[in-house]
């Protein structure tokens, strides 16, 4: 699409207002007011309205150039004719109007062709040679040719430079958009890789069946908590399902898996969000309660035990599957200062709960010396 701008715009402003200074000269000559009035109105409508809103829209085709240059050439000739012909004070200077139009629309060749038409019109239509003489008309013609060549060359160069700048701007914009798109794709890929890494890391520490943390995470978490700066209490509960083998034998392993999942959910719902519930292995679970003292941890263990005992884990016809759990409890650093002893103490308390009849919570501190040495 052709866009008017730069030198073109300045030239078109000059063309649009070129006739205004001549209005002051009309006072000194005789003219047909009605004809001149219609002529001025037509010039205004064509050059100020029709040209900018129609001819400059879309591609600047040859017929548009010929139409605009031809009409301006005709308007210039009529204006000169109405104001006195070759004797008019506007002759031949008003013929600069179509030459300027040709410069704006095209370049050197359009300007030269229009200048040739102006010379023919001045010499043969108005017979300027008879009024001013051949040398004068030759000088005027040479001046018009030089003006058309210089203006046409300057405007053509300016237009080419502007087009190159526009093309460069478009290429830069395209390159920027492609770069931005590549950056977005790279960012999306990076986010995808990060999400995949996070997912893989999460899967690596998650039990596939219950979706609790697994034994690996249990070890890593204990290590980090026990070695953290500043000693903070950490209560550990070990929990085991009573008679789980009998459940599998009687109800099947599929029901046994459902029991593990349901118990995992009950335990997670009973503890706080920052407490860690782990499937330690098989039917055994571990619950870590950071910054909870022994009394508080015992209350949590009792709630888990009671909730498990009150739950129907599976039902088939009139048969209900209920179960109980045994729990052992110890605390760091009051009862031990290392990880292995902490796990061992909780295990000993849990096995003592099973020896005492199951479905109960036993504290490591309540074990006698023989149980602690096991």
Catalytic amino acids? 283
Other beta carbons within 10 Å of 277: 23
What is the pairing mode between strands 234-241 and 325-332?
antiparallel
Q: Give the C-alpha separation, 27 to 132, whole Å.
A: 23
Backbone angles phi, psi at 205, to 5 degrees: -115, 15
Largest Cα span, the chain? 142
Contact present, 68 and 101 (Cβ < 8 Å): yes
What is the pairing mode between strands 325-332 and 361-363?
parallel
Which residue do the tokens 């958009």 mark? Answer: 177
Contact present, 239 and 327 (Cβ < 8 Å): yes
Which neighbouring-strand residues pair with 18?
none
**Minimal CA–CA distance to 87: which of 29, 19, 38?**
29
**Minimal CA–CA distance to 234: which of 86, 333, 323?**
333
Helices H, strands E: what count in the chain?
A: 13, 7
């Amino acid at each position: 699409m052709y866009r008017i701008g730069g030198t073109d715009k300045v030239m078109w402003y000059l063309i649009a207002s070129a006739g205004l200074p001549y209005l002051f000269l009309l006072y000194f000559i005789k003219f047909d007011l009605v004809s001149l009035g219609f002529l001025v109105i037509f010039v205004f409508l064509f050059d100020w309205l029709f040209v900018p809103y129609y001819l400059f829209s879309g591609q600047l085709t040859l017929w548009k150039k010929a139409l605009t240059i031809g009409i301006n050439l005709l308007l210039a000739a009529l204006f000169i004719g109405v104001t006195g012909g070759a004797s008019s004070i506007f002759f031949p200077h008003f013929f600069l109007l179509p030459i300027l139009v040709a410069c704006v629309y095209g370049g050197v060749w359009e300007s030269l062709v229009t200048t040739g038409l102006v010379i023919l019109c001045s010499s043969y239509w108005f017979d300027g040679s008879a009024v001013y003489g051949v040398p004068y008309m030759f000088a005027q013609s040479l001046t018009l040719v030089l003006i058309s060549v210089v203006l046409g060359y300057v405007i053509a160069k300016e237009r080419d430079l502007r087009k190159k700048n526009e093309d460069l701007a478009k290429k830069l914009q395209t390159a920027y958009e492609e770069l931005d798109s590549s950056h977005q794709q790279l960012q999306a890929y990076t986010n995808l890789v990060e999400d995949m890494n996070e997912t893989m890391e999460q899967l690596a520490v998650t039990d596939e069946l219950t979706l609790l943390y697994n034994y690996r995470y249990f070890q890593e978490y204990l290590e980090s908590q026990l070695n953290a700066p500043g000693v903070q209490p950490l209560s550990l509960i070990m929990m085991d399902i009573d008679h789980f083998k009998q459940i599998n034998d009687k109800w099947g392993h599929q029901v046994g898996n459902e029991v593990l999942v349901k118990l995992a959910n009950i335990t997670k719902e009973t503890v706080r969000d920052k407490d860690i519930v782990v499937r330690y292995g098989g039917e055994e679970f571990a619950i870590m309660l950071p910054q909870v003292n022994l009394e508080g941890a015992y209350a949590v263990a009792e709630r888990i035990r009671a909730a498990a005992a009150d739950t129907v884990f599976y039902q088939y016809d009139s048969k209900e599957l209920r179960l109980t759990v045994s729990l052992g409890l110890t605390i760091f650093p009051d009862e031990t200062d290392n990880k292995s002893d902490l796990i061992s103490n909780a295990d000993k308390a849990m096995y003592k709960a099973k020896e005492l009849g199951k479905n109960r919570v036993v504290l490591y501190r309540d074990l006698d010396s023989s149980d602690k040495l096991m």
